[in-house]
A and B are shown apart, each in its own frame.
Chain A
Amino acid sequence: MSQPTTSQPTTSQPTTSQPTTGAPATVPNAAADPGGARHHLLSVLVENKAGVLARVASLFSRRGYNIFSLAVAPTDDERFSRITIVVDVESAPLEQIVQQLDKLVNVVSISELAPERAIERELLLATVDADPGQRVEVAALAGIFHGAVIDVASDRVTVAVTGTPDDLDGVEDLLAPFGIVELQRTGRVALPKLGSRRRLQPVADRAG
């Protein structure tokens, strides 16, 4: 798992940053919190060993938990990688997902990030139809979102934009009229906002 891997379902609905109850994992909850958000962000520190991503992914499929998006990359400590998972808590209560994940021997710690207290970013790459006359228009549009044109052909351009998932939904809408040839998003990565909490707070770091 030393190679960064990212994926996101292309048909997924955009998600909004709603507040969550963020119940600690030590309070078991046998039913999904009806008032909470449907998506929760888990930041999972795992050992950087062969097959660990497969173990995490297969746990989700085996137990019928839905992943909305998943991004993985090495951390500054080469022994560990960080997997950022957006889970759909309608498929199972968050506490169950966290506790089952925590039973994986290669999972070192799990932090839950409440969206309103997290900085989230995602990268979007899109190739759109653009004849020479339209290039400037596309470039300007990307520029509004602090993105850039990163490749050009006679009738197409490729842009790269980094932003919150919401921003990128907006970018997608604005690019659509040009004709999207190919589009790829990475799924989000996140860290806690400074000033709310200094560090990732583990919700579970013990296995049974």
Chain B
Amino acid sequence: MRLTGAQALIKSLEMQHVEAIFGLPGGAILPVYDPLLDSSIRHILVRHEQGAGHAAEGYAHVTGRPGVAMVTSGPGATNIVTPLMDAMMDSIPLVVVSGQVATASIGTDAFQETAITSITQGITKHNWLVTEAADIPRVVAEAFHVATTGRPGPVLVDVPKDVANATMEWYWPSSDELDLPGYHPVTEGDPALVRQAAELVLAAQRPVIYAGGGILKARAAEALRALVDRTGIPVVTTLMARGAFPDSHPLNLGMPGMHGNYTAVTAMQRADLLLALGSRFDDRVTGRISAFAPGAKVVHVDIDPAELGKIRRPDVAIAGDCRVVIDELVTALDQLGLAADGTAAGGSPAARRPDVEPWRAQVRTWQAEHPLRYRQEEGGPLKPQFVVETLRDMTPDDTIVAAGVGQHQMWASQYWRFDHPYTWVNSGGAGTMGFAVPAALGAKVGRPGSMVWAIDGDGCFQMTAQELVTATAERIPIKVAILNNAYLGMVRQWQELFYEERYSEVYLSPDLPDYVKWAEAMGCVGMRVESADDVAPAIDKANAIDDRPVVIDFRTDAFEKVYPMVPAGASNDDIIEGPSEGERGR
């Protein structure tokens, strides 16, 4: 069967079971948009290519399948650089197809020419410039394989216009026809190392499981649950791992790190064993690394061997897929005599395990004495935490929450109760403002049956709000709660605390733009809430709307700060739990 390169490209995406492409056409990608008309694949026309990238990420977050975006050359391609970087930092499988000027024009500064493979070299897992139409099926198959196996990540396939127009004989490569001689991800852990890890688990008096986003990537939430049930070890879930272990489980201590809660942060500091599973010792988690968990032995499990020892030297380093290795670890514990219900067989190595209960009791004491705190005063300014808690309590258990970046993101992570994996969509490693709206849109495309709320900041919203036009036009009924504090609040918080309240370029205004009018202009229902009493009725109304997007402008207290906080570069021991006496901000 003779096909053009463009037809082969679309057919290759169909072969990969792609159901949605987020994109925006232009000159160099024109040939590829033509056969799209005849394809079963849904195309969602975004209003800015950054939106396409974040939507594809949101889709990937909630489905576990690669998100796909398509853009034209030059500015179309550079507009998706930020999402590629974001996906690289958070290990999100993403396949971006970009148009390129014709092969003969490459290197001549042709109209809309840019060397996007060079630009994205460091922010993709790999990228390809296709030079022959005949290569297209193989390269697409390789691109999906690389994006989704091992440590997932974004890839980019750059297709020159003449290659899309040329004809080729259609084929679909088998897995051993892929030309990837240097790519062999590891999955299974070394049994001897797994055994050592199990022995450390049985020797620990103050163990903590430090669960990272890798648990979700490996679809290891159930495996983790089985490990915790067997060992009774408390779990912290990083910003990327919220939902990987149920927040309602008594052994879930919640989020550690710069804005983590006291118990999660302190348990890690006092631990004698950290089981780091799919986590990477990010500086936002560890605080000053030399002071991080000083008394802990470390077992580090990660599918990326380069993460092992990159920041903290582990005592046992296991390269492998988290789900596979956790299963192996559970088996090893079983062999050492630790039963599924946590009891130990008499005379087995597990029978000599120290009692972990005093440690769990200590953890419970911290939880009781150091809860997250805020106060919504009767008739006082609306507290952002109150909005998050009310929204949490008024939405179904499996509601998907997408966040922007800033204070609102931290409050969402702290106050939401994540009881299901793949319900939290956020930009962790990159901290990309503007992520929430397009990511929520992509999430809703991937899981149309779930309710999807974006919890966004006023600053973030202004960066990518135009994708609500996309949402209206494509009938993707997402809901957006803007925690409108009239500030670039997180930056303001740092200026207040560390720059003697010298506020430099952080004020935004509560009503410029008018978010309700803006929402309405984009075809959404717009609402405004200024007092605590009005929060629930507005959410009720929003939840009842399912034929268009909804935006609620919550006017929240501009002076509220995110606590606890470990100042940048400080030790996690120096966690600040709340404002000092009399401090209120201004």
Provide the bound-state CA to CA distance between A183 and B129, in Å.
Answer: 38
B182 touches A47 (CB 8 A): yes
Does any Cβ of B come within 8 Å of A54's Cβ? yes
Q: Which residues of A contact B146 (CB under 8 A)?
A: 105
B311 touches A108 (CB 8 A): no
Q: Which residues of B contact A27 (CB under 8 A)?
A: 317
Interchain pairs with CB closer than 8 A, number: 84
Contact with B along A88-109 (1 / 0, CB 8 A): 0000010110011011111111
Does any Cβ of B come within 8 Å of A134's Cβ? no
> How many residues of chain B get a CB closer than 8 Å to chain A's CBs?
32
Does any Cβ of B come within 8 Å of A55's Cβ? yes
Does any Cβ of B come within 8 Å of A28's Cβ? yes
Instruction: Choose one: B122, B125, B183, B184; the contact of A58 (CB below 8 Å).
Output: B122
B184 touches A205 (CB 8 A): yes
Q: Which residues of A contact B181 (CB under 8 A)?
A: 47, 79, 108
Closest partner residue, chain A, to B115 (CB atom): A51
A108 touches B182 (CB 8 A): yes
Does any Cβ of B come within 8 Å of A46's Cβ? yes
Q: A55-B121, A58-B122 are in contact. Are A99 and B312 (CB under 8 A)?
A: no
Q: Which residues of B contact A47 (CB under 8 A)?
A: 181-182
Does any Cβ of B come within 8 Å of A153's Cβ? no
A208 touches B313 (CB 8 A): no
Q: A208-B151, A208-B185, A208-B186 are in contact. Are A105 and B305 (CB under 8 A)?
A: no
Contact with B along A1-34 (1 / 0, CB 8 A): 0000000000000000000000001111111000
B317 touches A207 (CB 8 A): no
Instruction: Choose one: B118, B126, B151, B307; the contact of A105 (CB below 8 Å).
Output: B126
Q: Which residues of B contact A95 (CB under 8 A)?
A: 309
B309 touches A207 (CB 8 A): no
Does any Cβ of A come within 8 Å of B544's Cβ? no
Q: Which residues of B contact A25 (CB under 8 A)?
A: 305
B184 touches A207 (CB 8 A): yes
B306 touches A107 (CB 8 A): no
Provide the bound-state CA to CA distance between A200 and B313, in Å.
Answer: 28
CB distance from A114 to the nearest CB of B (A): 21
B150 touches A28 (CB 8 A): no
B186 touches A103 (CB 8 A): no
B185 touches A28 (CB 8 A): no
CB distance from A60 to the nearest CB of B (A): 11
Closest partner residue, chain A, to B314 (CB atom): A28
Q: A58-B121, A96-B309 are in contact. Are A106 and B317 (CB under 8 A)?
A: no
Q: Which residues of B contact A46 (CB under 8 A)?
A: 182
Provide the bound-state CA to CA distance between A172 and B185, in Å.
Answer: 46
Provide the bound-state CA to CA distance between A106 and B305, in Å.
Answer: 17
Instruction: Choose one: B180, B306, B317; the contact of A103 (CB below 8 Å).
Output: B306
Provide the bound-state CA to CA distance between A59 and B125, in Å.
Answer: 12
Interface residues of A in 53-104 (CB under 8 A from B): 54-55, 58-59, 62, 79, 93, 95-96, 99-100, 102-104
Q: Which residues of A contact B319 (CB under 8 A)?
A: 26, 208
B306 touches A208 (CB 8 A): yes
Provide the bound-state CA to CA distance between A50 and B182, in Å.
Answer: 15
Does any Cβ of B come within 8 Å of A146's Cβ? no
Does any Cβ of A come within 8 Å of B303's Cβ? yes
Instruction: Choose one: A26, A55, A106, A207; the contact of B150 (CB below 8 Å).
Output: A207
Contact with A along B428-452 (1 / 0, CB 8 A): 0000000000000000000000000
Contact with A along B239-251 (1 / 0, CB 8 A): 0000000000000
Q: Which residues of B contact A31 (CB under 8 A)?
A: 313
The 6 A-B residue pairs with the shortest CB-CB distance in the complex, in nearest-first order: A28-B309, A208-B304, A99-B306, A30-B313, A108-B182, A105-B126
Binding site for B on A (CB under 8 A): 25-31, 46-47, 50-51, 54-55, 58-59, 62, 79, 93, 95-96, 99-100, 102-109, 204-208
